[in-house]
A and B are shown apart, each in its own frame.
Chain A
């Protein structure tokens, strides 16, 4: 089976390729963006004893190039997404790119798609504190109140479902929590944010829904190869630490931070003041933290990975081992 992995040069995409090889899939087409992560994939291709690993530099914003990219592919694992830049960048690189891929896949008759989405699509604002976030939890109708990243991921899922209904291919969604590992981001905004030389600790005792990048890649591959059509899988590891625990480990092993702990009540008050100031000052300071975002991201929830375990996935790297391996790499 020829499998296309988009975003193969990225933090997660590169691990998905390795996980596919480990799972015995040796006919891979790896899409990268020009100049991004191609060297490692080419080296991997040279090491391969059987099958083939093609590395294709292709911009998913080009419909013509994307049409060629999907030729002869039976399964697409779509891991490419816009995770940085302006809101327009995120929409372009996540939503427009996905639409181009869907058009190409439909034209080429691709049978199955696995879409790497995000926890950002969940409407956690309406959930009770302490509730369980699983695949049945509500999804944002638009996502706009959670910021541009959530908006782009919600719109991406809507597009996929729309195309799926019209064209009937199989698709599964994988929604990872906070992906961590060597080469990835060191600090999630769920733990806190840096401002004016301080680190504002926002997550407190809330669980941090981490998933090691290797575990997450295995989850994507398991869902792509074995997930029931239409299924959704949340990707989080077992034994999750709290945001405070993560911050404590980070401060001991990576860097000393001047920490300002903001309890939930103060955080909510700060978000209201910021929103009000942003309106009065006509955007002199952007309202990056709104009451909606605070209610969505900084209240305690529980997380489940039961759906993934039901299809045979197990995290191969424990949280303690993963953090022990990863945190020292952030010192660089």
Chain B
């Protein structure tokens, strides 16, 4: 059965949804929808999609949709996802899943009562380094996990950064955790792969390094975040930086047997350096071993490129393939609901500690 798929929300990220839906090949995009008619028109025009709408009810009534992709701002996700599932659609949500854990739980409850399936675009959990990490974890190579470090660079001068910083009406300013709220999923969903899915203790520091521009909305946006977390016996640090260069995206998983070093920019997974020989001669070996490990990762990436499995949004493609297969063949979902719920619960706890900022970039008095 070829799935009939629609997308609601025709902003920046909608392009990658159309492209990956088509690349997966399990369904076709039959319609798109946006409250702004010019935006739904342009997406339909650029990708030659047969129908475009400004009203989701109208779309759902006319198009017999199997799966709805929700790519609107997160404060609309609960309403749109509920509407779609009640109309019989499975739902693929852009991150953040919703504004709060409570809203996320309500979405998953509707999924349960309607018998529909839900997935969230936690694409980095399906990138090559994460997929390899899952194999390392399953094989016990790392041993018991002791600590995790995750970092995420945010380019304030990039397309997304400029859109937020030049528009006081941008929806990111409405999020309780502002800029971080929109990207925390990229960090926290990866932590869910390695940390016990138990309630998390959180300590958080957020601040702004940019100069003030004199606009209270723009200046209230922090651009540096440091978080310390503990779940069960595992600790983690998470860093979001708008200023560190190069803009990086990494994770380091410390086990009591071995340590994994993941880089999501270069798509590599290598073991941490290990000294196996004594003395100064023993300090020669680790760099050579590292060079060989990176060479193996690079070769694997070239092979993936050759097989056309190295798209910029390859993780999203893998995730969508798993989600659609789950719908078509009734197989387990690629992303367990427990991981989604743990991620949003953790994000809520971090967001609760992100302070409001004053014009000089310091924390507002309580």
Contacts and interface: CB of A to CB of B under 8 A. Distances in A.
A182 interface: no
Given A283-B23, A284-B308, A34 B159 contact: no
A202 B167 CA distance: 36
Nearest to A65: B169
Given A35-B218, A88-B15, A280-B308, A144 B213 contact: no
Interface stretch (B37-45, B52-60, B241-249, B285-293): B37-45
Interface in A43-66: 57, 59, 61-62
B163 A89 contact: yes
A148 B15 CA distance: 12
Interface stretch (B6-14, B77-85, B117-125, B348-356): B6-14
A59 B167 contact: yes
Interface string B137-167: 0000000000000000000000100110111
Contact of B46 (A95, A96, A151, A284): A151
A87 B169 contact: no
A112 interface: no
Of A33, A86, A89, A148, most buried by chain B (CB within 10 Å of CB) is A86
A282 B308 contact: yes
Interface in B192-218: 213, 215, 218
A136 interface: no
A88 B14 contact: yes
Contact of A89 (B12, B45, B218): B12
B311 interface: yes
A91 interface: yes
Interface residues of A, number: 29
A89 B15 CA distance: 12
A178 B167 CA distance: 28
Contacts of A144: 45-46
A62 B169 contact: yes
B63 interface: no
B224 to A, nearest CB: 19
A96 B166 contact: no
Interface in A107-159: 142, 144, 148, 151, 155
B213 A34 contact: yes
Interface residues of B, number: 30
A35 B213 contact: yes
A24 interface: no
B308 A86 contact: no
B213 A86 contact: no
B163 A283 contact: no
A281 B23 CA distance: 9
Interface in B212-231: 213, 215, 218
Of A96, A99, A284, most buried by chain B (CB within 10 Å of CB) is A284
Contacts of A92: 11, 39
Contacts of B19: 282-283
B23 A95 contact: no
Contacts of B166: 33-36, 59
Contacts of B168: 34, 59
A327 B138 CA distance: 59
A35 B210 CA distance: 12
A324 to B, nearest CB: 30
A155 B42 contact: yes
Given A282-B22, A282-B308, A85 B42 contact: no
Closest CB pairs A-B (n = 8) = A282-B23, A281-B308, A35-B213, A85-B159, A91-B42, A86-B12, A88-B12, A33-B166
7 contacts: A57-B215, A89-B159, A95-B38, A96-B38, A142-B45, A280-B308, A282-B311
Interface of A: 33-36, 57, 59, 61-62, 84-89, 91-92, 95-96, 99, 142, 144, 148, 151, 155, 280-284
Given A34-B218, A59-B169, A282-B308, 13 more contacts: A36-B166, A59-B167, A59-B168, A61-B169, A84-B162, A86-B12, A88-B39, A89-B163, A91-B38, A151-B46, A281-B308, A282-B311, A284-B305
